[in-house]
Amino acid sequence: MTLDSQHWTSLKTHQQRLKNTTLRDLFSENPDRFGQFSCSLDDLTIDFSKEKVDAEALAALVEFAKFADIEASRQKMFSGQHVNFTEDRAVLHTALRGQPEDQFVADGTPLSEMISEVLERMCSFAEGVRSGDIKSATGVKFTDVINIGIGGSDLGPAMVTRALSPYRDGGPNLHFVSNVDGAHLSDTIANLDPKTTLVLIASKTFTTAETIANAKAARSWLRDAMDNKGANQHMAALSTNLEGTVEFGIPAERVFGFWDWVGGRYSVWSAIGLPIAIAIGAGNFKAFLAGARSMDQHFQSAPLEKNLPVLLALIGIWRRNILGYPTVALISYDQRLERFAAYVQQLDMESNGKQTDSNGNRVAIQTGPIIWGEPGTNAQHSFFQLVHQGTDVIPVDFILGAKSGSSLTDQHELLQANCLAQSQALAFGKTQDEVAAEMKADGQSDDEIKRLSPHRTFPGDRPSTTILHRQLDPFTLGRLIALYEHKIFVQGVIWGVNSFDQWGVELGKQLAKALVPVVRGEPSENLDSSTSGLINRINELG
């Protein structure tokens, strides 16, 4: 995508035209902005009426998407072409939630049968663990399951399992260990019984350093409590490396694989989702897949101007490249979505945090934004001060359910009111005159009004999008994740980057591997003075 295209110029022209127009002005000029600037798929509604766009700017954004040939790129991905061009791979995580009639193919091979075979094996295993048909070495039901992974092998299953905890229905307790810091594993197993604990080791290659280190420690914990054969019966692997998993002691029938066209951060739909299936049951896991498929079908068929992932992506382009806002706060007004921001953070920042385009040139525009956030209403009492009155404008994506996931409906109404109030306050703020009038009506003196009114003024004109659904359930969550997956893909196409590789994590891994023996005491003459000094200091303190 070239910066000198007429479409970039057009978008900048619209930004200049709207520069001195506030969101107050836009709502005053068009009281029905919600009707014009919201879009729905069944119960899922995205309201971007509080974004700093008007009809002309939105039309220009849609034209820009057409110029970027989003539809052709979308077709390439779904048809199995190697859109991951730096690793020469297809990108077909969508096939994992497909049906036979979708006819997904990779390198000439139909995928439905092999995907179905793995899915049914993992669902059968999950139901066996849940029911107690698959027993521990001591002949009793597993009470706890530890998933050991990192990155995409941890964040997705951990987030989804937490989000769908009401669907556990008697299943075992799920625990997630990712950090190579021994405290993570030791704190997790402190109150668990190894004789009733199943350990899942999630590593596509079965070589991920952090995961294997934790897996070996967990295996030792199991073996200390029972013989090796019994310990092996308490392990399963989510990996393609059958030789490595068998050598580790895991029976071949307890290894669940996936394929190189499934990227790590897109793997929650694959065998990496086994802990989810154990947590919520096979039926609910399949509903989770079905929700994602419904978004896939919408993304493939809806016109761009009514296409939810495309619209969400274009608003993001407007924020990032036209208005120049580098971050997005993702605020879920659902405590069970407390890990959702972290999940999308990896999904977005690892996908589009790139500075090299498809031609190997440095990109000339800003790419992936910084994604961060916490659940509301906690966020309101921590960093929302900066969001409302700080010197930087921070766009916000709000996520809200119409129905509560708990029996405390009065509290849910309070939650909803808070979410709506935050988006309202960000958009419209409160002028100093309005503050002064309120203080005067409250009987405060002119001196107090003059002293305090500047501090109590809210600038407003701060953009937000609200994503509303009926209620958080497996189908809804699958659809929501797929929405963000496709949004990120569209933005990657516009920026001209490969959203499906992650070379940026490799250098740190290589250096860490080389530094391990040095930290353990071996001499090295090739260190910079900072690293050498820090290692010496570590040894002094240790």
Neighbours of 10 (CB within 10 A): 18
Q: Tokens 């959203």 — which residue?
A: 499
Output b/e per residue, 61-72; b: 16+ Cβ within 10 A.
bbbbbeebebee
SS3 432: helix
Q: Tokens 């391990």 — which residue?
A: 516
Both tokens of residue 133? 């048909």
CA distance 399 to 233: 41
Both tokens of residue 212? 């294997």
SS3 135: strand
Q: Catalytic: which of 14, 175, 298, 350? A: 350
CA distance 314 to 320: 10
Q: Catalytic: which of 381, 455, 522, 525? A: 381
Please report the sign of the dihedral spanned by the C-alpha atoms of residue 506, residue 510, residue 513, residue 519: negative
> Cβ(491)–Cβ(316) under 8 Å?
yes
CA distance 42 to 427: 27
> Cβ(314)–Cβ(65) under 8 Å?
yes
> Cβ(208)–Cβ(267) under 8 Å?
no
CA distance 93 to 263: 7
Both tokens of residue 508? 């740190």
Q: Measuring CA to CA, how many Å separate 12 from each of 57, 208, 362, 366, 485?
A: 10, 45, 22, 15, 27
DSSP category for residue 418: H
Distance of CA 223 to the CA centre of its chain: 35
> Cβ(237)–Cβ(200) under 8 Å?
yes
| 430 is a catalytic site residue | no
CA distance 195 to 198: 9
Omega cis (within 30) before 207 = no
Closest CA to 129 of 168, 184, 185: 168
SS3 177: strand
| 381 is a catalytic site residue | yes
Q: Measuring CA to CA, how many Å separate 211 from each of 157, 237, 260, 537?
A: 15, 11, 19, 28
| 509 is a catalytic site residue | yes
> Cβ(135)–Cβ(125) under 8 Å?
no
CA distance 403 to 405: 7
List active site positions.
350, 381, 509
